[in-house]
């Protein structure tokens, strides 16, 4: 049978009305495949190992049954207690998991409490929160273990559910010893739900210690989203910027976009370039603190930003709390793709072509999710032809045809020569020095916003003054008028579609009849006839 024929809707799973209302508030009409399979099994009390790729709805697959079972158990519960522990490998994943759980329990917030203990705060600061015994606690293994050691968290008698999210990353970061230590503080009987993208020897070893007769759900999903249209265009580095500008200004790119580059410097250069043309974007920089990165992703998901510029560099580097214990995960080119949830991404633009096939698949996987349509556009130069051929071969094998899902983007570069001239002027501003200053400015701003440095600045106000009075960066020259697109730059075939666009400024041809009345008076007046002497000069001439 087809998946569509056997699809089980949320309301047929026996869920509480408050949970269904929370799901409806999120706009979810039907469960994803993994949710359809996992939720009924979890409600039956089975241990589950879920192996599925990012973006398949795994977080909701374990959150919904846990919320449902806690609501049921509270009907006969005598006292409040911690019932579920969600373990994730990074603080960023903790933030996202806690957010999803709160959204799914929005209509029953008086009965379901979820807290995230991953932030690096002193343990006594978080102790009052844990003393209230929240129903669900989310944290990294080392953070949970630290609170147990400080007698802030007791799980022996109350814990009913254990969730291990992104188990492969968790073990890759060296949390294996922390997990083994945590097992000593868990009760003998509890339900365990595992989520992972890959299976390896370490996971199988830990799985035997925690899971009992687990049901393994391995979704054989295609690597490339089904509803994704992929395009590529052969363009050299000198023309990429002009093409990017033209695509945005001519409204050929619509919807929210995720743009990928290969270096952080390039991300700042692209942002500064687009800024001169009035195209707003933000940078997801892995050098910035976790809270800043989470804030950028959250604001993008709330449609505060429409365009994000990102790199493939590893984003979890700052999550290794103990460098002696934890080893950095090998960079596989999917740093921004693992653990970061971007909502409603319409386009993925590979401004720099990825350096591996795996990186390409992870990049394009950010769009066309949950059966929605998406577009991936890749810029390819002559030096990237070899890796492009490898990607094309994989796509052909995946689609089973002659690569009809990877089409050339037919665009006549000669028609945007005007954009090329303007892009050269804009790039002249985006020098290495300007990029360096832009990065320093962002670091200064983070320092000013840091809560940890508040006490230092109170004792040394002069240091804060120096930071505040640094010269502001000028990302574009004021003499350049680049935001508006003159009408004569628009190709004839596109004029009708974007004629009413506010970003297009119509330049009227010169005509003497259009001269303003002021200018007419200025040029037609005879200065000799209007010339008059002052009263003092008149007296002199009379004398």
Query: Same domain for 389 and 278?
Result: yes
Place 376 in a pLDDT band, splitting at 50, 70 and 90.
very high
| 154-177 residue pLDDT tens | 999 899 999 999 888 887 778 888
347: part of which helix (H) or strand (E)?
Answer: strand 347-350
Query: Same domain for 179 and 295?
Result: no
> What's the CA gap between 341 and 357, in Å, rounded?
21
16 CA to centre of own chain: 32
Place 477 in a pLDDT band, splitting at 50, 70 and 90.
very low
Q: Within a domain: residue 208? A: yes
Query: Same domain for 402 and 302?
Result: yes
Q: Are strands 136-139 and 114-116 parallel, antiparallel or unpaired?
A: parallel
Q: Give residue 323's pLDDT.
A: 34
Residue (of 61, 91, 55) closest to 343 by Cα position: 55
Does residue 202 have a pLDDT over 60?
A: yes
Query: Same domain for 387 and 445?
Result: yes
Does residue 378 have a pLDDT over 70?
A: yes
State the total domains in the chain.
2
> What's the CA gap between 72 and 198, in Å, rounded?
33
Query: Same domain for 239 and 295?
Result: yes
Q: Which residue has the higher pLDDT, 450 or 70?
A: 70
Q: Within a domain: residue 507? A: no
| 380-404 residue pLDDT tens | 999 999 999 999 988 888 776 555 5
Q: Give residue 496's pLDDT.
A: 62
Query: Same domain for 253 and 397?
Result: yes
Q: Within a domain: residue 525? A: no
Q: Within a domain: residue 118? A: yes
Q: Give residue 473's pLDDT.
A: 44
Identify the domain boundary among 164, 199, 218.
218
CATH of the domain at 183: 3.40.50.300
Query: Same domain for 66 and 207?
Result: yes
Query: Same domain for 211 and 239?
Result: no
Query: Same domain for 267 and 369?
Result: yes
Q: Within a domain: residue 162? A: yes
Q: What are phi and psi of 527, to 5 degrees?
A: -65, -25
| 224-253 residue pLDDT tens | 777 889 999 999 988 999 999 999 988 889
**Range(s) of the domain holding residue 36:** 10-218
Q: What are phi and psi of 310, to 5 degrees?
A: -135, 165
Query: Same domain for 273 and 139?
Result: no
CB 495: neighbour CB atoms within 10 A?
12
Q: Within a domain: residue 466? A: yes
Per-residue b or e along 224-240, where b marks 16 or more CB atoms closer than 10 Å to that residue's CB: bbeebbbbbbbbeeebb
Q: Within a domain: residue 192? A: yes
333 CA to centre of own chain: 16
**Helix (H) and strand (E) counts for the chain?**
21, 16
Query: Same domain for 20 and 152?
Result: yes
Query: Same domain for 271 and 305?
Result: yes
Q: Within a domain: residue 279? A: yes
| 175-195 residue pLDDT tens | 888 988 999 999 989 999 998
Identify the domain boundary among 218, 252, 280.
218
Q: How many residues does the chain have?
A: 543
Give the up-direction half-sphere exposure of residue 291: CA atoms within 13 A in the CB hemisphere: 10
Identify the domain boundary among 463, 486, 509.
486
């Amino acid at each position: 049978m087809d998946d569509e024929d056997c699809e089980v809707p949320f309301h047929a799973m026996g869920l509480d009305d408050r949970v269904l209302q929370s799901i409806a508030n999120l706009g979810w009409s039907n469960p994803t495949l993994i949710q359809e399979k996992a939720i009924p099994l979890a409600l039956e009390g089975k241990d589950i190992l879920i192996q599925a790729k990012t973006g398949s709805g795994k977080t909701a697959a374990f959150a919904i049954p846990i919320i449902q079972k806690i609501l049921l158990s509270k009907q006969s519960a005598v006292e409040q207690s911690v019932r579920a522990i969600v373990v994730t490998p990074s603080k960023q994943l903790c933030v996202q998991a806690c957010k999803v759980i709160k959204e799914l329990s929005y209509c029953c917030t008086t009965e379901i409490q979820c807290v995230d203990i991953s932030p690096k705060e002193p343990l006594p600061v978080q102790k009052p929160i844990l003393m209230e015994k929240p129903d669900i606690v989310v944290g990294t293994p080392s953070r949970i273990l630290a609170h147990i050691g400080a007698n802030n968290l007791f799980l022996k008698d109350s814990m009913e559910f254990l969730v291990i999210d992104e188990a492969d990353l968790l073990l890759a970061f060296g949390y294996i010893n922390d997990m083994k230590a945590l097992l000593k503080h868990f009760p003998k009987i509890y339900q365990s739900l595992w989520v992972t993208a890959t299976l390896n020897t370490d996971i199988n070893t830990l799985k035997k210690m925690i899971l009992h007769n687990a049901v393994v759900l391995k979704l054989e999903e295609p690597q490339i989203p089904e509803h994704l249209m992929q395009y590529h265009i052969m363009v050299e580095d000198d023309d990429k910027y002009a093409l990017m500008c033209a695509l945005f200004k001519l409204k050929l790119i619509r919807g929210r976009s995720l743009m990928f580059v290969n270096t952080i410097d390039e991300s700042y250069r692209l942002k500064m370039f687009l800024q001169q043309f009035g195209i707003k974007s933000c940078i997801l920089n892995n050098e910035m603190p976790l809270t800043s990165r989470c804030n950028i992703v959250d604001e993008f998901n709330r449609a505060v930003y429409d365009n994000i510029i990102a790199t493939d560099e590893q984003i979890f580097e700052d999550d290794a709390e103990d460098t002696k214990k934890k080893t950095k995960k090998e960079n596989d080119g999917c740093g921004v793709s693992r653990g970061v949830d971007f909502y409603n991404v319409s386009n993925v633009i590979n401004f720099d072509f990825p350096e591996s096939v795996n990186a390409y698949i992870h990049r394009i996987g950010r769009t066309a999710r949950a059966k929605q349509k998406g577009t991936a556009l890749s810029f390819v130069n002559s030096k990237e032809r070899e890796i492009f051929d490898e990607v094309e071969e994989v796509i052909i094998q995946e689609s089973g045809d002659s690569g009809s899902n990877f089409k050339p983007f037919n665009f006549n570069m000669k028609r945007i020569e005007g954009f090329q001239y303007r892009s050269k002027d804009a790039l002249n501003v985006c020098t290495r020095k300007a990029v360096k200053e832009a990065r320093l400015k962002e670091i200064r701003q983070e320092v000013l916003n840091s809560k940890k440095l508040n006490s230092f600045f109170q004792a040394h106000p002069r240091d804060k003054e120096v930071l505040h009075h640094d010269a502001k960066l000028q990302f574009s020259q004021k003499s350049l008028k680049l935001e508006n697109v003159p009408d004569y730059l628009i190709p004839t075939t596109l004029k009708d579609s974007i004629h009413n666009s506010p970003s297009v400024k119509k330049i009227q041809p010169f005509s003497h009849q259009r001269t303003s009345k002021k200018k007419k008076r200025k040029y037609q007046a005879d200065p000799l006839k209007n010339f008059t002497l002052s009263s003092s000069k008149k007296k002199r001439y009379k004398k």
